[in-house]
Structure 1
Amino acid sequence: MTMTERTAEPAEKDTADCLRQNDHGSQAGGHDGADVRSAEGAEGAEEPESARERANRRWHEILQETRVAQTGVQILFGFLLSVAFTPLFRDLGTFDRTVYVITVVLGAAATGSLIAPVSLHRFLSGQRMKDEVVETAGRLMMCGMVLLALTIGCTLLLILRIVIPGPLAEALAGGVMLWFAICWYALPLHLRRRSQGARKGA
């Protein structure tokens, strides 16, 4: 082996070592850049929403909830209105007729409360009152849900008194109303209080 070949071998090794180091450095730099971008993305995801964004989000949530409740109350109210024109309605006693009248009035009031947010938004649109609209619409929704629950309970009582005469009809209607109260009001309030207690403990 000549002197020139011996000198060339270390030079080639040094060049290969440098290339490997550069490759490792580029890979490390790529990972670092990805970590930085990930950290920036995580920080961006945790940024609190502005007051306007919060109002818009709450308004869209109320609209979705209103659509669900409106469908139920409109179907129920339409059924109640048709009952008065059936032959069986003439055979109802005084108590059952009173329950029917109360049920129709509750159904009409529930319909008004659940549709009110749409009218409220239409009249106040462009007046820079989004927070007030959202707050009032939320209260109308809660009122409408109470009226809807009472309407369903009275409708159930009216039907059960015809199918099952006697105290059993009242007991079944009362049991269903109790279940509504647990699902619609007691459970959400319990979860809210538990969440508030956990935040205070933390």
Structure 2
Amino acid sequence: MTRPVPAQGAGPEEAHERVNRRWAEILQETRVAQTGVQILFGFLLSVAFTPRFRDLGAFDTSVYVVTVILGAAATGALIAPVSLHRLLTGQQMKDDLVKVAGRLMVTGLVLLALTISCTVLLILHVVLPDLLAELLAGGVLLWFALCWYALPAWLKKRSARRHQKTA
């Protein structure tokens, strides 16, 4: 069970205050993630209209197609909380919205990490030997996995151990 987060100088956070705070945090996080994914997606869409695109081999073309699909999926997942908010405001569903939006954000971040890694692969594959490009793109994906998922999981586990000791 999670503990209420007390406001500075106040008592424990009420359930409705907590869900409102979490919803506001999700919308702010969405704003940050949307900007990055939209810029990246716009760049990806423009690549097909460059003169060098026709010179890409089958591998690079396949990576490009996968990357565009991943970018579109990331864009959809990261913008979905805004749509949910707009379409379901006033329906007394904020708890559900927070849960679903949180899952969509995590899904969107996974898709964004994959999109960025594939973009790196596509770009590096043009300028570096195949294996080096693939290793560097894999390194980028690993970095995202460490920063975005492993580190939060480790911090959560460490925090849980601290709370067990004090309880």
TM-score, normalised by the number of residues in structure 1: 0.77
The match for 1:194 is 158
**Residues of 2 paired with 1:120 and 1:58: CA distance?**
15
* Correspondence 1:134-149 to 2 at 5 A: 134-149=98-113
Structure 2 residue 142 is matched with structure 1 residue 178: yes
1:201 deviates by 1.3
1:171 deviates by 0.8
1:176 deviates by 1.1
Structure 2 residue 80 is matched with structure 1 residue 125: no
**Residues of 1 paired with 2:42 and 2:48: CA distance?**
11
Structure 2 spans left out of the alignment, 5+ residues: 1-7
The match for 2:73 is 109
Moved over 3 A (4+): none
**Residues of 2 paired with 1:73 and 1:186: CA distance?**
22
Matched residue pairs, number? 159
* Correspondence 1:2-151 to 2 at 5 A: 45-151=9-115
1:123 deviates by 1.2
SS of equivalent residue, structure 1 residue 127 = coil
**Residues of 1 paired with 2:69 and 2:150: CA distance?**
26
**Residues of 1 paired with 2:143 and 2:111: CA distance?**
15
**Residues of 1 paired with 2:163 and 2:48: CA distance?**
53
Structure 2 residue 131 is matched with structure 1 residue 167: yes
Structure 1 spans left out of the alignment, 5+ residues: 1-43
1:46 deviates by 4.2
Greater relative CO (CA pairs within 8 A, separation 6+): 2
What are the Cα deviations for residues 128-176 of structure 1, in whole angstroms up to 9, with x where unaligned? 1111111110000000000000000000000000011321111111111
SS of equivalent residue, structure 2 residue 17 = helix
**Residues of 2 paired with 1:100 and 1:197: CA distance?**
44
Q: Give the superposed CA RMSD.
A: 1.0
**Residues of 1 paired with 2:118 and 2:134: CA distance?**
10
The match for 1:23 is none
TM-score, normalised by the number of residues in structure 2: 0.93
Structure 1 counterpart of 2:11, one-letter code: E
